[in-house]
Amino acid sequence: MTALFAFDPASLMTLALLVWIFSGIACGLLAGAARLSSLISGAGSMLACAAVMIAAVQMLNGSAPAILTLPALPYHASFSPVNALLLLAMSVTAFFSSLYACAWLANARPHQRARTGLSGNLLLAALTAAAISANAVELILMMEIAALCAYFLIVQADDVKSRRAGQNQFLSGRIGTLCLILAFALLHHASGSLDFEVLRHTTFTPGTKSLAFLLALAGFGLYAGIIPLHAWVPQSHSSAPAHIAALFSSALMKIGIIGIVKIGLDLLGAPPLWWGLLVLLLAMLTAFIGGLYALMEHDIRRLLAYHSLENVGIILLGIGGAMVGVALHQPLLASLALLAGLFHLFNHGLFKTALFLGAGEIEMQTGIKDMEKLGGIARVMPWTAVAMLIALMSMAALPPLNGFASEWLLYQSLFQLSASQVFIARLLGPLLAVGLALTGALALMCIAKVFGVTFSGAPRSQAAAEASPAPRAMTISSVLLALLCVISGVASPWIIPYFAAVAASVLNEPVLQAAGHGAAFSTTSAVSVPMIAILLLGMPLLPWIIAMVLRGSRLPDRSRGDAWACGYGHSAEMVVTATGFAQPLRVMFAPLYRLRQQMTPAPLVAALHRSGLGTFCRRLALIELAVLLVVAFA
């Protein structure tokens, strides 16, 4: 037991896993005591997240990569820089989600509190164990447990929408797991082992490598939500509690992304060129379609889920660029692209968690997720409005926030790709840069839609008019995440070297000098995010100072009143709606929107959601989770 109180990464990881498990069980047993059980679950999860953060920072700050057995647990863990980065990205966002959960669980029904507290903590424990897995058996087992916990978190509400969302996630997860089993079974047949260290040093035939890569890409892609393997994502994010939906985006889907990094750049050796090109094309499709579908949504959490798909595509642009760089023997391109992808993976978790938690605050105080029925929320929930505005600006990659810092590096990697000597790379580089710019434009439109329709104007329903500020723990969680978006953007020149070191460890290349003297740069250009922040603060400040000095008493202070409506009396019906805002794009891209309906015909949907199949899936999920937990503890 003394080892559990040590501060080395292995002991801290053991402590975190045990705290998650026992605090979740305690929440389930004490669900009748609202305050006590919610405090045990939320505070216990925050303690576990803090332990994981400390362990991850230690691993990033010089601890040598190692494979160890965790103290008191029969689990072989791999401590490497890329695993540490994944742990840090998951635990930071999970910490604030757990703070939010303290207030949410206290207001939930006892049965819902028990299920969410237990399944949520088990989800985090399984994802953390998957992040440090040292062999394929552990990875698949923990990902399967995490997916089953996610299923029970989705189907809490006894309604048709919730059951359908859970059934989609259950079927997608099982197909993903089957693909991963087939991929690693193929590798085991060729190498005789499922340990990642053995696979890493085994030479496979080109056919074996390519088939295993395609199977693993499908399996990890289902978890990550790559389009067209994304069917479970929007419904699941809308049906689960808001802090759980945040974990889906910031943790569960990130496991799939890091899995693609491992299989494409680490375990199978140098990838052929077509692997990277395939990932780049899927990435661009995911980013553009995700952003386009997001603009059509009125359910604020479905909208954010589609934007998670957009950002998954942006992250994969970096990963695909790195694979192309390795295949073309261009270490600068590979290092810069992978650095950009990993940095955006971390940044996306921050701003997307802030957005989901803010949306959860609005839903809890109004009972509404449909933006058409909101409006005027900024007057009654100002701190939530500010936090969501900052997170939305970060999502749209506006300077000086963290989304801009990582996407700037990604643009630089695409410019490097366009300078390649290979024709297909010279062709794709500019096209992908234009596509990334288009997704940025869609994200900017989303800022206007979400913030304008939800927070501005007049309330469109009685519930919106009578809304009140959310519990303090919820508001603090979203505000602190928004503050981290600002800090990680302004301080990006000092943060980037850590991500560059992680990228170098994956590629076995020297560390890329992508930051220095307060600026992030490549061989072609440089940008100082701190200087941008200073200029953006100074630009509105200077005119205000001039006006205050020169106006004297000639100009009275402005008075507040109704918005000007061309001489007519202002009414709530005049305010722009979410439908009207997106209507031009709906007309312009009508064939793409019809494609979704054509790809999911009504008879197929009806067959998949028969009540008998849903009941079978629910019972099978319960049996499978019980068996896998016994196997995991054994």
**For residues 7-30, average pLDDT:** 89
Condensed to tens digits (0 to 9), the pLDDT of residues 603-623 reads 666 666 666 776 777 788 888
Condensed to tens digits (0 to 9), the pLDDT of residues 385-440 reads 999 999 999 998 888 888 888 898 898 888 888 887 888 888 888 899 888 998 88
The answer to whether 103 touches 62, Cβ cutoff 8 Å, is no
pTM of the entire predicted model: 0.90
Name the amino acid, one letter, at 477: S
Domain positions in the chain are 1-134, 332-546
- pLDDT at position 624 is 83
Local confidence band at 158 (pLDDT 50, 70, 90 cut-offs): low
**For residues 28-51, average pLDDT:** 87
User: d(Cα 328, Cα 340) in Å, to the nearest integer?
Assistant: 18
- pLDDT at position 574 is 61
Structure tokens at 200: 């890493």
Tell which wins on pLDDT, 531 or 519: 531
- Three-state DSSP state, 72: coil
Which stretches within 109-159 are classed as H helix? 110-131, 136-154
Condensed to tens digits (0 to 9), the pLDDT of residues 543-564 reads 777 777 776 665 566 666 666 6
Condensed to tens digits (0 to 9), the pLDDT of residues 97-151 reads 999 999 998 888 888 888 888 999 999 999 999 999 989 999 999 999 999 999 9
Residue 253 predicted with pLDDT over 90: yes
Per-chain mean pLDDT for the chain: 84
User: d(Cα 152, Cα 552) in Å, to the nearest integer?
Assistant: 64
- pLDDT at position 525 is 59
Name the amino acid, one letter, at 373: K
User: d(Cα 634, Cα 234) in Å, to the nearest integer?
Assistant: 35
Spatial CB neighbours of 440, under 8 Å, sequence gap ≥ 6: 396, 397, 407
- For residue 68, what are the β-bridge partners? 77
User: d(Cα 238, Cα 266) in Å, to the nearest integer?
Assistant: 35
**Burial class of 61 by CB neighbour count within 10 A (0 to 12, 13 to 18, 19+):** exposed
Q: Tell whether omega for the bond before 228 is within 30 degrees of 0, i.e. cis.
A: yes
Q: What is the CA 463 to chain-centroid distance, rounded?
A: 30
Tell which wins on pLDDT, 540 or 496: 496
**For residues 201-220, average pLDDT:** 91
User: d(Cα 554, Cα 551) in Å, to the nearest integer?
Assistant: 6
User: d(Cα 125, Cα 136) in Å, to the nearest integer?
Assistant: 17
- pLDDT at position 200 is 87
Which stretches within 367-491 are classed as H helix? 377-380, 382-395, 402-418, 423-455, 462-465, 472-490
CB atoms within 10 A of CB 552: 7
Name the amino acid, one letter, at 92: V
Condensed to tens digits (0 to 9), the pLDDT of residues 480-490 reads 999 999 999 88
Tell me how far CA of residue 196 lies from CA of 70, 135, 141, 338, 617, in angstroms. Answer: 17, 5, 15, 21, 32
Spatial CB neighbours of 496, under 8 Å, sequence gap ≥ 6: 339, 343, 405, 409, 514, 515, 520
* Among the ranges given (335-339, 341-345, 422-426, 476-480), the one the predictor scored with the smallest mean pLDDT: 422-426
Local confidence band at 576 (pLDDT 50, 70, 90 cut-offs): low
User: d(Cα 132, Cα 578) in Å, to the nearest integer?
Assistant: 43
Local confidence band at 597 (pLDDT 50, 70, 90 cut-offs): low
**For residues 507-515, average pLDDT:** 73
Structure tokens at 84: 């540490």
Residue 516 predicted with pLDDT over 60: no
- Three-state DSSP state, 322: helix
Q: What is the CA 54 to chain-centroid distance, rounded?
A: 21
The answer to whether 520 touches 409, Cβ cutoff 8 Å, is yes
Residue 446 predicted with pLDDT over 70: yes
Strands 66-69 and 519-521, bridge-based pairing: unpaired
Four-residue CA torsion sign, 525, 531, 536, 538: negative
Share of the chain above pLDDT 70, in %: 85
Residue 531 predicted with pLDDT over 90: no
Condensed to tens digits (0 to 9), the pLDDT of residues 286-309 reads 999 988 888 888 888 999 999 999
Residue 1 predicted with pLDDT over 50: no
Spatial CB neighbours of 233, under 8 Å, sequence gap ≥ 6: 225, 248, 253, 305, 306, 308, 309
